[in-house]
Amino acid sequence: MIKENDKTCAVIGSGVSGIAAAIRMRNKGYRVVVFEANSFLGGKLSSETNKGYRFDMGPSVFTFPEYVDELFILSGKNPRDYFNYDRLDPVFRYFFEDGTSLESFDGKEKYASELAPKTKDTKEAILNYLDKTEKMYDLTAEVFLHNSLHKFKNYFTKAVAKGLLNFGKIGAFDTMNGANEKAFKDKRLVQIFNRYSTYNGSSPYLAPATLNVIPHVEIVKGAYYPHGGMHSITKSLVQLAKEIGVVFKFNSPVREIVVENNLTKGIKTDNGFEGFDVVISNMDVYNTYHKLLPSCKKPEKLLNQPKSSSGIIFYWGIKRRFDELSLHNILFSENYREEFETIFTKNSIYKDPSIYINITSKHSPGDAPEGCENWFTFINVTNNQGQDWDKFVNESREHVINKINRILKTDIRKLIECEMVFDPRVIESRTSSAFGAIYGNSSNNKFSAFLRHPNFSKKIKNLYFCGGSVHPGPSIPLCLLSAKITTSLIK
Ligand SMILES: Cc1cc2nc3c(=O)[nH]c(=O)nc-3n(C[C@H](O)[C@H](O)[C@H](O)COP(=O)(O)OP(=O)(O)OC[C@H]3O[C@@H](n4cnc5c(N)ncnc54)[C@H](O)[C@@H]3O)c2cc1C
């Protein structure tokens, strides 16, 4: 039972973090209104259909389902009445230009025993690496993911002391690629472990080896598939939020956060001013400051950190089934280093991009017509700096089609029945992500965790932030933790 109080809270944006923050604030007894600029909810975690094909428009890899469950339990509901999922095994299929392919499995033991015989590395080497990443995760998670990094008192905890005592073990002074090249002889294994830098839009040749905790999450904590696809996360959380009394306003872009004498007073939409005791912005923090708080002093250093990569996505209806593909597939580039240099140094598109193909109809047959498949075909690209994206999209389409044809020995062009395309400009306009960067600031710097904006304003009372552009960072689980940290700071 929610213990009502007379306080009110506005949440700006209905990304997964905004919805989670709204649920948590409602459970604290606040009257909560979510203002969403779009006509649909979920931000990046949304879904569309085209000619009988359904597509998840953004995230496709789902980890830590317990963070979704937690919101139902907090609200006194049984999560299984709203939201269900399966643990995946196998998880990914990898294809290489030399004609070989590898598959990744669930759990350390199975992963190592299945991969070792097909690579130049031993089972012991793979297990040793996975043990190391597990230790790194155990040392860092509490400090970097579960608490505000910006509250002085949090630096005097057991978890921080343990992290500091073991600082040498968290890989802060090496790059992901550096650590992975030391761990493995097989270039394909190095590439497989390097690719996890893309989960937060960074380069494995620049990002600290601490990010090698990401494969630990996927391989050991597990990768999941939500029944009905990723969008069911948004749908079920919105259902829960509405049931407990959160109000959603669609087509309601917030134009300004109203502040007087450094105290938040409310927000302005096209319908005028509405007063609120607390405002939580789930809008990208760069744009929150630049668009909604134009006259406030900005934390320039944090806002101007280099931004993450973006993506070009072809949502294709394919009128054939491909048994050689599974739910998650990657067709790797031949020269990974050159690919990342093109993205992060040349701010351009690469001629031989690694391609991620996600096909939810493998698990949810209703997502495509009989005998067909819904392909979410993604390549990492630079963020939007005003490049000629029409040209980049056309060129990338050719690169992607040629590579798929080469590796799968097919002619995919003839099989594309319908198409929608996202590029960094679309991502920017659809979710207000600065420069169309998918993951906020990049993590190409060992201090990046400390250079994300806090979950609260240091200058303006009762103004808070949640979502992928602020602490602890992007992805569904981190956005859910962001909402948890943010709301825990509100009395
Ligand atoms: C192509 C792609 C693939 C991804 N893959 C994965 C993956 O496999 N696994 C994973 O965990 N994560 C993945 N991510 C990242 C993940 O989707 C994001 O980190 C997360 O969904 C961001 O959620 P958020 O709460 O920050 O808000 P967002 O989803 O960014 O939504 C912000 C919302 O705020 C609204 N808004 C903005 N400004 C205003 C305003 N002024 N007034 C009102 N409303 C406003 C926007 O319309 C939007 O709805 C992917 C993202 C993309 C785009």
Which of 41, 44, 237, 310 has most ligand 1 atoms within 8 Å of CB, for mutation? 44
Percent of the chain with pLDDT over 70: 100
What confidence score (pLDDT) does residue 13 get?
Answer: 98
Name which residue leads in pLDDT, 65 or 155.
65
What confidence score (pLDDT) does residue 15 get?
Answer: 98
Query: Which residue's CA is minimally distant from atom 18 of ligand 1?
Result: 475
pLDDT higher than 80, residue 351: yes
How many Å lie between the centroid of ligand 1 and the Cα of residue 292? 18
- Write the pLDDT tens digit of every residue in 435-484: 999 999 999 988 888 889 999 999 999 999 999 999 999 999 999 999 99
What confidence score (pLDDT) does residue 310 get?
Answer: 98
Picking from 19-23, 121-125, 164-168, 278-282, which range would have the lowest pLDDT averaged per residue? 164-168
Query: Which residue's CA is minimally distant from atom 16 of ligand 1?
Result: 475
Ordered DSSP codes for 346-357: S-S--SS--EEE
What confidence score (pLDDT) does residue 151 get?
Answer: 78
What confidence score (pLDDT) does residue 171 get?
Answer: 75
Using the atom order of ligand 1, give the atom closest to the CA of residue 252: 43
Q: What would the mean pLDDT of 353-360 be, rounded to a whole number?
A: 98
How many Å lie between the centroid of ligand 1 and the Cα of residue 431? 6
Using the atom order of ligand 1, give the atom closest to the CA of residue 427: 53
What confidence score (pLDDT) does residue 380 get?
Answer: 98
Using the atom order of ligand 1, give the atom closest to the CA of residue 378: 1
- Specify whether the CB–CB gap between 469 and 453 falls below 8 A: yes
Taking the CB of residue 414, how many other CB atoms lie within 10 A of it? 9
Q: Please give the Cα distance from 195 to 204 (Å, whole number).
A: 7
Confidence band, pLDDT 50/70/90 cuts, at residue 491? confident
What confidence score (pLDDT) does residue 307 get?
Answer: 96
Q: Where in the chain is the domain with CATH 3.50.50.60?
A: 8-49+232-304+444-488
Phi then psi dihedrals of residue 219, to 5 deg: -85, -35
Name which residue leads in pLDDT, 146 or 9.
9
Q: Which residues line ligand 1 (CB under 6 A)?
A: 12-18, 35-38, 43-45, 58-61, 253-254, 282-283, 311, 313, 427, 431-433, 438, 467-468, 474-476, 479
Confidence band, pLDDT 50/70/90 cuts, at residue 52? very high
- Coil, strand, or helix at residue 445? coil
pLDDT higher than 90, residue 119: yes
Query: Which residue's CA is minimally distant from atom 32 of ligand 1?
Result: 15
How many Å lie between the centroid of ligand 1 and the Cα of residue 122? 39
Q: How does the average pLDDT of the chain come out, rounded?
A: 96
What confidence score (pLDDT) does residue 161 get?
Answer: 72
How many Å lie between the centroid of ligand 1 and the Cα of residue 285? 12
What confidence score (pLDDT) does residue 201 get?
Answer: 96
Percent of the chain with pLDDT over 90: 90
Which of 255, 282, 359 has most ligand 1 atoms within 8 Å of CB, for mutation? 282
Of the CATH numbers 3.40.630.30, 3.50.50.60, 3.40.50.2000, 1.10.3720.10, which one belongs to the domain with range 8-49+232-304+444-488?
A: 3.50.50.60
- CA angle centred on 438, ends 432 and 443, rounded to 5°: 125
Confidence band, pLDDT 50/70/90 cuts, at residue 320? very high
Query: Which residue's CA is minimally distant from atom 23 of ligand 1?
Result: 15
- Write the pLDDT tens digit of every residue in 11-44: 999 999 999 999 999 999 999 999 999 999 999 9
- CB burial of 188-203 (b: ≥16 within 10 Å; e: otherwise) equals bbbbbbbbbbbbbbbb
Q: Please give the Cα distance from 331 to 350 (Å, whole number).
A: 14
Q: What would the mean pLDDT of 288-310 be, rounded to a whole number?
A: 95
Query: Which residue's CA is minimally distant from atom 26 of ligand 1?
Result: 467
- Write the pLDDT tens digit of every residue in 232-275: 999 999 999 999 999 999 999 999 999 999 999 999 999 999 99
* Beta pairing class for 31-35 and 247-249: parallel
